[in-house]
Homo-oligomer: A and B are copies of this chain.
Amino acid sequence: MTGLRRLVLFLALLTPEPLFAQSTTHPLDGLATAEYWSVYDALQSAGHLTPETKFTSVLLHPPSKATVLAWTPGQPVPREADVVLLRDSKTYTARVDIAAKRVVEFGELKNGQSAFLASEMFGADGYIKKDERIIEALRKRGISDLRTVSCSALPVAYRAVPEQATGRVGFGSCSRTHGTYHSWGRSIEGLTFQVDIAAKKVTSISDADTVPVPTSEQNYEEIPDRPRPNTTPISTFQPLGQGFRIDHGDISWQNWRFRMRIDPRVGVVLNLVQIVDAGRARSVLYEASVSELFVPYMDPGNGWNNRAFIDAGEFFAGVGFLKPLKPGLDCPAGATWFDGQTISEDGAPRLTSRLACLFERATENPAWRHLQGSEVYGRPSRELVLRSAATIGNYDYLLDWRFEPDGTLKVAVGATGVIETKSTTMTAAHDAHSGPETGQLVAEGVFGVNHDHYFSYRLDFDVDGTSNSFMLNRMVPQRVDNDPMRKSIWVNQPVVAAREKDAILDIRLDQPSMWMFMNPSVRSSLNYPVAYEVMPGATAKSILSGDDPVQRIGAFSEHQFWVTRYNEAERYAAGTYPTSSDANDGLAVWTKANRTIENTDIVGWYTLGFHHITRAEDWPVMPTMWHEFAIRPFHFFNKNPVLDLPKSLADH
């Protein structure tokens, strides 16, 4: 022990709190700049960083739930990070104690690989375009100016070819950028190849049919016409400011209380979502976030059969899928903005602005109303929107958490951006009744390929405490005899799911049920267990074969809802390391254990999905299409909780 360390230890013993507790950091805060550098330093000191080592991701390793729930401000904050490194095609995982600047765990990852780095995908352009076979294939297509060609290598999430067992294998294709400012809608079809990313070389080529690169319009911005007329200005004003408060990361709005952080992998993470009821903060969710995305395309052709994207786990692990929001477009200009810390591939933290926004929205809807006699009574409503936007190559997703005054939390996904297209020799659908069945022509020579979008939302309910049960309230038809008025009713039959397999659910209109997380130990004033209901929206389930490698990785999409026993290691619906994996992780694997889920800490997983057959209207950029679901209190409050809203939006 050095003299300095002895002195520090001595001082530490004198002070009532450990030195590292001076910070106001909350245990669930995202990592800060100094913490990223501590992680870097720890790995460097331990000799894990060679010059070639790339950082895939550095994520907060959340403390145990018990630790967080026992924590109070001023107490020491345990801080750890999960790190993924990539070196010589090998993936290493580490856990680092940030305060101690110490590597706690380190090892090589088997049964899966690091997510793909931007440098692997887009850095491939250079060597791909030096390959003589590629050059010749392009020349055959009349393309010799390679500066107007852009090539990339994409991962696949499952181990489809043997080379993936030991190496980083990319599946490549090119597009042409000449004459445009972006390359969507300009794919060079028929030419696909496999690359060895470490060796920086093309290992095999498939050069099939030559398809001309379309030249039809794909410019969504430079519109020659003047804007449509009669769109008079419309503005929202809040002269006394917005109605929410943020204090050391605690966000309060009306009776809601919550925290949020921006996680580079899954984006906005809500924590400690509570509702103040008669002066008491009551827990609803310990944590909630997107957990994974799965976007399989429905074309078996070369260069398309590998497109089945596991967007959170497979890509951009360091910088994440969240991208900056634009004031006045994505959120009102007066919104409150949240920056986020991500990392570059060399391990340095990178501050990105406006990765989320928070704003109040005047819905112009009543929170409740009733006409009694000739008078209408009611209260106007508003909502609090926490929004972020993911851009994953072509697609953009607006990701909303919408807090309602009545305790409802709406979750919404708005899909927009540019659809993935395949160049085709078709210039017009010959006949919609006998045309190709894998998509639709959206412009001359531009074919929008059928695909699905699935989002898995991880909802760690802690309704009035960590021990919850999952209850199905089934609506069951019942015969009525000897009644001239009726021959049938339905009755509600509550069933508590005992094990995980009892709670793997699909929506069936002929067998309706309500899905609820309830606390069997906490009763409402009427003696019902307090509960929160999950209310599905319009959604979809995957109809791919269960043995399809794609579907095995994205297996969460087969069902609308899952419930698991809480396990802090189970955060990602398609597994932590899906890339080049063998589908050995994720919801479908965990629930094989069929653990008991009654009156214990449990987690819900909602699949928000939609099939997408494209249309001309989706080109060259897609009008935003929203899908939603919601959670809402059910016997959680003892009466309507919005009787006390102000009578006018102008009141306060």
Within 8 Å by CB of A378, from B329, B428, B485, lies B329
Q: Does A88 contact B (CB under 8 A)?
A: no
Residue of A305, A488, A540 with most partner-chain B CB within 10 A? A488
Beta-carbon contact of B370 and A418 below 8 Å: yes
Beta-carbon contact of B382 and A234 below 8 Å: yes
Residue of A156, A492, A615 with most partner-chain B CB within 10 A? A615
Q: Does A620 contact B (CB under 8 A)?
A: yes
Q: Does A510 contact B (CB under 8 A)?
A: yes
Beta-carbon contact of B640 and A326 below 8 Å: no
Beta-carbon contact of B526 and A429 below 8 Å: yes
Q: Does A126 contact B (CB under 8 A)?
A: no
Beta-carbon contact of A437 and B300 below 8 Å: no
Q: Does A3 contact B (CB under 8 A)?
A: no
Contacts of A418 in B (CB 8 A): 370
Beta-carbon contact of A298 and B236 below 8 Å: no
User: Top 5 closest A-B pairs, CB basis?
Assistant: A437-B491, A305-B485, A488-B545, A428-B527, A326-B376
Beta-carbon contact of A369 and B382 below 8 Å: no
Contacts of A439 in B (CB 8 A): 492
Q: Which of A129-137, A341-349, A457-465, A643-651 touches B?
A: A643-651
Chain B nearest CB from A180 CB (Å) reads 11
- Closest partner residue, chain B, to A276 (CB atom): B228
Given A489-B544, A622-B640, 15 new contacts (CB under 8 A): A156-B485, A230-B252, A230-B652, A231-B382, A300-B483, A326-B376, A328-B380, A330-B369, A365-B398, A367-B623, A376-B389, A438-B492, A512-B611, A617-B635, A620-B639
Chain B nearest CB from A578 CB (Å) reads 15
- Closest partner residue, chain B, to A359 (CB atom): B364
Contacts of A524 in B (CB 8 A): 616
Beta-carbon contact of B535 and A538 below 8 Å: yes
Q: Does A20 contact B (CB under 8 A)?
A: no
With known contacts A305-B483, A371-B391, A376–B330 Cβ distance under 8 A: yes
Contacts of A541 in B (CB 8 A): 509-510
Q: Which of A106-114, A218-226, A580-588 touches B?
A: A218-226
Q: How many residues on the A side are at the interface (Cβ–Cβ under 8 A)? A: 179
- Closest partner residue, chain B, to A225 (CB atom): B644
Contacts of A440 in B (CB 8 A): 492, 528, 635
Beta-carbon contact of A488 and B329 below 8 Å: no
Q: Does A417 contact B (CB under 8 A)?
A: yes
Beta-carbon contact of A221 and B377 below 8 Å: yes
Within 8 Å by CB of A624, from B329, B369, B431, B433, lies B369
Residue of A233, A391, A510, A645 with most partner-chain B CB within 10 A? A233
Secondary structure at the A interface, as helix, strand, loop or mixed, is loop
Q: Mark A480-509, 1 if CB is under 8 A from B, else 0.
A: 100111111111111010000000001111
Q: Does A642 contact B (CB under 8 A)?
A: yes
Q: Does A142 contact B (CB under 8 A)?
A: no
Contacts of A496 in B (CB 8 A): 433
Beta-carbon contact of B487 and A545 below 8 Å: yes
Residue of A245, A366, A431, A549 with most partner-chain B CB within 10 A? A366
Chain B nearest CB from A470 CB (Å) reads 14
Q: Does A537 contact B (CB under 8 A)?
A: yes
Within 8 Å by CB of A232, from B223, B232, B240, lies B240
Q: Does A10 contact B (CB under 8 A)?
A: no
Contacts of A527 in B (CB 8 A): 428-432
Q: Which of A257-265, A284-292, A471-479 touches B?
A: A471-479
Contacts of A71 in B (CB 8 A): none
Within 8 Å by CB of A389, from B371, B442, B477, B651, lies B371
With known contacts A228-B255, A492-B613, A639-B617, A526–B649 Cβ distance under 8 A: no
Q: Does A361 contact B (CB under 8 A)?
A: yes
Beta-carbon contact of B540 and A512 below 8 Å: yes
Q: How far is the CA of A430 from the CA of B527 in the complex (A)?
A: 7
Within 8 Å by CB of A547, from B233, B234, B487, B636, lies B487
